[in-house]
């Protein structure tokens, strides 16, 4: 393990088919005014909305609803939420939905009492929070982002063609999260597989960096193998509880800060994917899958030992009689085959990207320095063109 670090994750998780029974106990820790935020109404069709509202009422809470959170929450929606939360001076934001709703709740939590434009302060200048933060709780219905147990929040500004994530500190992490794998059964197939790959890529972003024999890399390999096995069951049996519970648990641990301890991290696939999302509003997990193979093949030579380890430990590639390069290539080929098996989008053209967009997308990509190669803008263009 390299470097020095402090690890803290204050989010309390309630997991299982009876997890919602713990919500009333959590609500007792907060004041009477609750901002209930959710997406397009699927929680009403499933009956979860009625259950949550009844628990809120039985707990004596005054409910202020903020529906309509979109898959890629916009800055306009952020301002709307801030206005409502500020006018009602809410004591808790309860997010019921997928990662985008959790992301959105955290954005509102830090922005409501911000004394300047939160987009400028938190997403362009990446400043720390120095104002009052409204506590957040989550009831998760779709897995992938890990937002239920981290401080990350991604907001899209269509006018500026920017989609930016800010990873806030432990003071912004959800105070509690309800995780019932059965809530994920109604998620459409495309969203399910996109979430699985989002989680898998979160692990890759933290795995493909560093050269030391890092303990968390062993954890990462186990999580990746778990996702691979469970995903193959889930695409055939979407309501297989064991598979969906393992996917939910692995997705949470893929991005709750644990895997980043004691090592550098990459995140360039996410930076490219988010810039594509700013132009296309495409499903986040699919923006990642569409550029991953081009990116990893581009950087493979710079981190060859780790790509060899990935091939052997995660995909079971036999290295006998093969060069390191051949082993690494075989591992990426196995990964690509699995991605196609899941039905993921494998090129950016299918997401709506045109040749005319490439220059603007490249301009919007943050160049990170934690991976095996610090990209140049020309490198980004090469990867984008290979992803078409």
Q: Which of 162, 183, 204 is the C-terminal boundary of a domain? A: 183
User: Residue 183 gets which letter from DSSP?
Assistant: G
Span 293-327, pLDDT tens digits: 999 999 999 999 999 999 999 999 999 999 999 99
CATH number where 248 lies: 1.20.1090.10
Confidence of residue 40 (pLDDT cuts 50, 70, 90): confident
Q: Indicate whether 301 belongs to any domain.
A: yes
* Residue-number span of the structural domain to which 157 is assigned: 12-183
Residue 270 has pLDDT above 90, yes or no: yes
The domain tally of the chain equals 2
- pLDDT of 1 reads 78
Q: What is the dihedral of CA 123, 128, 131, 132, to 10 degrees?
A: 90
My answer on whether 48 and 112 are in the same domain is: yes
Q: Indicate whether 1 belongs to any domain.
A: no
Span 356-386, pLDDT tens digits: 999 999 999 999 999 999 999 999 999 999 9
My answer on whether 22 and 132 are in the same domain is: yes
Q: What SS3 string covers 221-259?
A: HHHHHHHHHHHHHHCCCCCCHHHHHHHHHHHHHHCCCHH
My answer on whether 133 and 238 are in the same domain is: no
Residue 3 has pLDDT above 90, yes or no: no
Token pair for 277: 């999302």
| Number of Cβ atoms within 10 Å of the Cβ of 254 | 28
Q: What is the mean pLDDT of residues 276-295?
A: 97
Span 228-262, pLDDT tens digits: 999 999 999 999 999 999 999 999 999 999 999 98
- pLDDT of 128 reads 96
Q: What is the mean pLDDT of residues 164-176?
A: 96
Indicate the pairing of strand 92-97 with strand 152-157: unpaired
Q: Indicate whether 3 belongs to any domain.
A: no
My answer on whether 377 and 335 are in the same domain is: yes
What rounded mean pLDDT belongs to the chain?
97
Q: 42 CB contacts (<8 Å, ≥6 apart)?
A: 97, 141, 186
């Amino acid at each position: 393990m390299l470097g020095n670090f402090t690890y803290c994750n204050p989010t309390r998780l309630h997991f299982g088919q009876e997890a919602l029974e713990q919500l009333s106990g959590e609500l007792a820790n907060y004041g009477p005014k609750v901002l209930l935020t959710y997406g397009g109404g699927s929680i009403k069709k499933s009956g979860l909305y009625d259950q949550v509202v009844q628990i809120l009422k039985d707990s004596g809470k005054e409910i202020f609803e903020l529906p309509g959170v979109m898959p890629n929450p916009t800055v306009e929606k952020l301002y709307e939420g801030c206005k409502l939360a500020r006018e009602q001076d809410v004591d808790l934001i309860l997010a019921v939905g997928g990662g985008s709703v959790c992301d959105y709740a955290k954005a509102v939590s830090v922005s409501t009492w911000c004394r300047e434009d939160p987009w400028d302060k938190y997403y362009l200048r990446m400043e720390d929070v120095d104002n009052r933060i409204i506590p957040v709780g989550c009831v998760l219905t779709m897995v992938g982002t890990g937002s239920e147990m981290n401080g990350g929040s991604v907001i899209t500004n269509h006018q500026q063609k920017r989609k930016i994530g800010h990873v806030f500190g432990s003071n912004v992490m959800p105070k509690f999260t309800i995780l019932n794998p059965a809530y994920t059964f109604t998620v459409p197939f495309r969203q399910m597989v996109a979430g699985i790959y989002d989680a898998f890529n979160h692990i890759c972003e933290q795995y493909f960096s560093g050269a030391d024999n890092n303990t968390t890399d062993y954890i990462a390999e186990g999580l990746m193998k778990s996702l691979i096995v469970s995903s193959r069951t889930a695409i055939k049996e979407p309501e297989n509880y064991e598979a969906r519970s393992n996917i939910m648990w692995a997705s949470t641990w893929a991005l709750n800060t644990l895997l980043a301890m004691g090592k550098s991290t990459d995140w360039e696939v996410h930076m490219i994917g988010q810039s594509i999302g700013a132009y296309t509003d495409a499903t986040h997990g699919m923006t990642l899958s569409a550029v991953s193979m081009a990116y990893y093949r581009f950087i493979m030579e710079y981190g060859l030992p780790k790509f060899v380890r990935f091939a052997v430990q995660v995909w079971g590639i036999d290295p006998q009689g093969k060069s390191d390069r051949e082993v690494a290539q075989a591992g990426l080929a196995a990964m690509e085959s699995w991605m196609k098996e899941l039905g993921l989008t494998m090129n950016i053209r299918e997401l709506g990207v045109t040749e005319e967009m490439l220059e603007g997308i490249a301009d919007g990509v943050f160049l990170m320095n934690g991976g095996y190669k610090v990209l140049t803008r020309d490198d980004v263009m090469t990867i984008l063109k290979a992803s078409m």
